[in-house]
Amino acid sequence: MKFSLIFFSTLFFSKLTYSQSADTIFYFTGKGTRVSKPDYATYYRIIKPPTHAEKLYDVQEYYKSGQLKRAGKSIPDLAGLKQGKVLWQGLYMSYYPNGNKERVANFENNEPIGDVVQYYPNGKVYSNTRYKHGDLKELLTCYDTLGNVTTQNGNGRWLFYYEGLRKLKLDGPVENGLEEGLWHGRIIDTVNITSVKRFEYVFDKGKVLSAKGYDSTGLARDFVKELQLAKYNGDLYGFIDKIKRHLGAGLDYEQLIACFTVEKDGTLSNIKVAGINDAQLDKSLAKILYHGNNWIAGKYLGFDMRYRVYLPLSSNMPQVLVSAVEYDEDLLSEL
């Protein structure tokens, strides 16, 4: 499983200007991390400047196959647009790679508002939910993959799925549009994830009272977040700058990614520079990473896990009001 993590840094500048007069293309990984070349991307985003009669930017995203992925409008946030970021506004539609609709919603200031309809990859309706100010407020209607109703008028049994709506993740009772009582969770990757066998939530009128993961012996561990990714304890920009100063000049850092595994005990292993085949460079990267390791191990459902980190070395100190270091992580096999 792959996830993206964003490390925020806030800087203050007296003036920031940006204008767009032509279509601009940006490339992203499957988890939304921007990359410099289409070879590394799983989809691309086209941002079109507004017409004279409209202030919103037109945004379209496409899978590498050319199939439409998402379409909608963006608020003219100039600093964000310069980096390929959008703030959705108005009607929003997303699609599966097979061309079927995935979601239809309305956004206000980049947050869903009102009723949201989701679909299964087979084209059948999955759910109708209601949002207010970006927060999920009501679970209204839910169907299984065959079209059978499981929740109607906010009462019944609700189904939550893993990404792609193919594997059931969590299910439980709904009363008056809110989660209630005991919900049962399932682990789909039982080959690589061996520590955790199942998980449970207990709800009271939509609020989580408890969340626990269980191993094969029945040992329970409490968790707040299902995925607690490995993270750097400190200044990530400074960490990247330290790596580049140690590796030296003359390298094309726009194409290089520092890859390493954060083990369950927080130690680092399998260190490599992606984007170039250089054993000596790998050794140099390992030397700097081993010295003063400030990475904190990640967890999954309360249990310690191994994570593979992919840290782009192209990240520089930001020249925008609010910026971020974006990088990907894989939840690795425990074997």
Domain membership of residue 5 (yes or no) is no
pLDDT tens string, the chain, 335 residues long: the values are 555 554 433 333 233 333 455 789 999 888 787 877 788 789 999 999 887 778 899 999 999 999 999 999 999 887 788 778 899 999 999 999 999 999 999 999 999 999 999 999 999 999 999 998 778 889 999 999 999 999 999 999 999 999 999 999 999 999 999 999 999 999 988 888 888 999 999 999 999 999 999 998 999 999 999 999 999 998 888 889 889 988 888 888 887 889 999 999 999 999 999 877 889 999 999 998 888 788 999 999 999 999 999 888 875 544 433 345 667 788 887 76
Domain membership of residue 223 (yes or no) is no
Output the CA–CA distances (angstroms, integers) from residue 8 to 40, 308, 309, 321, 327, in the order listed.
23, 20, 17, 11, 12
Quote the domain boundaries for residue 276. Answer: 228-331
**Structure tokens, 241:** 């700058």
Contacts of 65 (CB under 8 A, 6+ apart): 97
Is the Cα dihedral 76, 77, 82, 85 positive or negative? negative
Q: What is the distance between the alpha carbons of residues 306 and 335, in angstroms, rounded to a whole number?
A: 10
pLDDT at 296: 93
Instruction: Please say whether the beta carbons of 140 and 155 come within 8 A.
Output: no
Domain membership of residue 179 (yes or no) is no
Domain membership of residue 238 (yes or no) is yes
Alpha helices for the chain (secondary structure H): 78-82, 236-247, 279-290
Contacts of 153 (CB under 8 A, 6+ apart): 140, 141
> Could you identify the residue written with the tokens 């998402």?
70
Domain membership of residue 191 (yes or no) is no
Domain membership of residue 148 (yes or no) is no
What is the count of structural domains for the chain?
1
Domain membership of residue 243 (yes or no) is yes
Domain membership of residue 283 (yes or no) is yes
Instruction: Please say whether the beta carbons of 198 and 186 come within 8 A.
Output: yes
- What angle do helix axes 279-290 and 236-247 make, rounded to 10 degrees? 140
Half-sphere exposure of 248 (CA within 13 A, CB side): 5
Nearest to 332 by CA among 281, 251, 262, 237: 262
